[in-house]
Structure 1
Amino acid sequence: MMDINCLFFLSASAEGLAVGVGFGAIGKTPSATFESARNLAIGIGIQNFPEGLAVSLPLRGSGVSTWTAFWYGQLSGMVEPIAGLLGAVAVVLAEPLLPYALAFAAGAMVYVVVDDIIPEAQVSGNGRLASWTSILGFVVMMSLDVGLG
């Protein structure tokens, strides 16, 4: 259980870092706008609901009380605002780090999905559902990027 909690912590840190970098980069390049940073924050906010469930439901299934499982799910996302502030400060202080910070955030997200979530979905017989919801998530993010950007 601790292994997956560490992965979610890494994921939440990367998500917060990405949002902070997005907002910190506003005005520094033509593509870094408030709208693009807002869309990124909305997209990450949407995916935080199933991420919190992915932390809470296994805890509840292993006998942890409902409220304790709920609070662990909430705590898994608490690192995001801190990482967001660090990302914004990093962009303001060290603009050349922007591509590396975004690459780290993207790489951490891909690592979490490939290393833990996809294999777990295959083992429990939900491979098709995992594939379709991944496609749906991609369509939602692209719609946010094109429609709101």
Structure 2
Amino acid sequence: MSRRGTPHLPSQGGELGTAAPFYPRLGDLARDTSRGGEIGVVIALPADGRNTYHLCPAGGGDKWSAPNDGTTLRPVQPHVTHITPLKRDVTYDARAQHGGLPVTVHYDDGGTAESLLTLDPSQLELYHYQVGRILALRDKDRGGKL
């Protein structure tokens, strides 16, 4: 599945407050709202002699059609599997009183995206304590005392 952004600002090609139709490509997963949100793989695109998308369940089963204007189709977002810190320096915004930790977000389709974990002061204190606990558990596992 491709990782395409969804325009949400007028300057990015979308109207503010409106959802642009989704035009999937061959092989994309799509959620069909006219079928109760059923997810299928796009196996045929509207083209000469075909006026609809053709989909089938990912594991096989009965095929179905969806209108060629894309109004009933929605993209299926990959799920986040885990997040790892990037080897970059952290930031602190004194005005907003937020700390930032650069991270990589990992998805179940193999894709990744860089992001920023933003923490307010109480979260910073909590995670300071929790990371200290992780380090203490690691030391205990290595034969040290807790």
**TM-score bucket of the superposed structures, by smaller chain:** under 0.3
Higher relative contact order (Cα pairs below 8 Å, separated by 6+ residues): 1
TM-score, normalisation: structure 2: 0.23
* Larger relative helix fraction: 1
* Larger relative strand fraction: 2
**Pair member with larger Rg:** 2
TM-score, normalisation: structure 1: 0.23
